[in-house]
Amino acid sequence: MSSERKATLTIPGEAPVQFPILTPTHGNECVDIRALGGNTDRFGYDSGFESTASCKSSITYIDGAKGELLYRGYPIEQLTEHCDFLEVAYLLKNGELPNAEQKASFSATITKNTPVHNQMVNFYHGFRRDAHTMPVMVGVVGALSAFHREAADFSDVEQRSLTIHRIIAKMPTIAAMAYKYTMGHPPVNPRADLDYAANFVYMMFANPAEKFQLNPVLMRAFDRLLILHADHAQDASTSTVRMAGSSGANPFACISAAIACLSGREHGGASEACLAMLQEVGDVRKVAEMISRSKIESDRSKVTGFGLYVYRNFDPRAKLMRRLCTEVLTELGLENDPLFKLAIELDRIALEDPYFVENKLYPNVDFYSGILQKALGLPASMFGCVVAVARTAGWMAQWEEMRADPEYKIARPRQLYVGPVRRDVPAAFARSDL
């Protein structure tokens, strides 16, 4: 990464100040303004950090103009075609894909750490049965900090790796237990003979009273679903992990904070919102009318699940998710299901409508993800939990990268204060007229 070139900031009446220009492997150059406050007694203002790089990272790269997503340099399309989720999780953590021996060892470690402490079952009973599963996940994952206090010791490399393995392994168990609890069913223990995705599905849907059948087409689709959600650079939840981790917080607490961030409608809750939109429309005949209204500013009934700020092209994950939807719907014979027919029609019209095409409002990953997960039998309340399980691999890779960065320091964003100027507190008797 080169920093030989300089950018010059000129403030009227003051001497010009120069800042290094950093050139990345891919993407936009960055002006290194870390010395801005010290050299000029001023700060940059960037609400939402849309033009600010908060860290250096070698994990995930997004090219919004090209519609490209790379994990450690590998295109997401190739990873979903040739790898399974645990291979991708290994890649995110270690920087390279595993060989056969490394994969076997990593998979065995994950399987060994899949069960949770028996006392953790008690945490679920503190929630209402009708509680949404995302806040349940926030509470239970945060509680892991109390069971694994040694995870707060970041000085030992082996301890850090064990912590990462533990949280990746236990997330499907915790999510499945949250689902079972809301259904009023007893938790199902993980099986050592199943792979990561299949075990997750088994723990959610297995019934002790009957034999559980695993459909290989559906299991492969679910595994790919996890890969597509494994990481997405410095989005809101990943930035939350880094910000919480910068204080030295227990990594389980960092993941809990990230899940809380992910639960928002504009983030991990988007797939659930997309499904709710489809259910509200309800009829294929109303699709054209809804799309027409979405173009009128005074009556903007927005089509949830179309367009994504980071992409100025088709979201590459959406293309793959669309293909998975077709495979799963065909396998299950759901092509004529009213809700799915509605989604397909909305997809078709939006992709052909000049307004959506010109403004590059393509269906995004959340639109197809909701359809796919519903077809797989998941309730809408679990959509965010599935993303959280998948994203944990990326979150922990980002957390470990931050901890190893010699330039890392506790996050402390500045502000542009616009409140009252300094003033004196009036006497009590004088405040009666205020």
| Contact (CB, 8 A) for 138 and 258 | no
Indicate whether 405 belongs to any domain: no
**CATH at residue 137:** 1.10.580.10
Please compute the mean of the pLDDT values over residues 170-174 and round it to a whole number: 97
Torsion, CA 424, CA 425, CA 426, CA 431, rounded to 10: 140
Contacts of the segment 135-139: beta carbons below 8 A, 24+ positions apart = 135/260, 135/263, 136/178, 136/181, 136/182, 137/174, 137/175, 137/178, 137/259, 137/385, 137/388, 138/256, 138/259, 138/260, 138/263, 139/256
Indicate whether 24 belongs to any domain: yes
Question: Are both 300 and 356 inside the same structural domain?
Answer: yes
pLDDT of 204 higher than 60: yes
Question: Are both 130 and 248 inside the same structural domain?
Answer: yes
327 by DSSP, 3-state: which?
A: helix
Higher pLDDT, 368 or 324: 324
**CATH at residue 317:** 1.10.230.10
Nearest to 87 by CA among 195, 203, 238, 164: 195
pLDDT band at 171 (very low <50, low <70, confident <90, very high): very high
pLDDT digits (tens, 9 = 90+) for 218-245: 999 999 999 999 999 999 999 999 999 9
Question: Are both 251 and 387 inside the same structural domain?
Answer: yes
Residue % of the chain over a pLDDT of 70 = 95
- Print the domain residue range for 25: 6-53
Question: Are both 153 and 285 inside the same structural domain?
Answer: no
Indicate whether 428 belongs to any domain: no
Question: Are both 12 and 41 inside the same structural domain?
Answer: yes
Question: Are both 121 and 176 inside the same structural domain?
Answer: yes
Question: Are both 335 and 243 inside the same structural domain?
Answer: no
C-alpha to C-alpha distance for 52 and 14, rounded to whole angstroms: 25
Question: Are both 30 and 155 inside the same structural domain?
Answer: no
**CATH at residue 31:** 2.20.28.60
Question: Are both 301 and 256 inside the same structural domain?
Answer: no
Higher pLDDT, 195 or 310: 195
Indicate whether 400 belongs to any domain: no
pLDDT of 286 higher than 90: no
- The total number of structural domains in the chain stands at 3
Indicate whether 430 belongs to any domain: no
Provide DSSP, 59-97.
Answer: SEEEETTTTEEEETTEEHHHHHHH--HHHHHHHHHHSS-
Question: Are both 133 and 12 inside the same structural domain?
Answer: no
Question: Are both 386 and 255 inside the same structural domain?
Answer: yes
Indicate whether 369 belongs to any domain: yes
Indicate whether 64 belongs to any domain: no
Question: Are both 250 and 124 inside the same structural domain?
Answer: yes
Q: Which residues contact 82 (CB under 8 A, 6 or more apart)?
A: none
Please compute the mean of the pLDDT values over residues 152-165 and round it to a whole number: 87
Indicate whether 210 belongs to any domain: yes
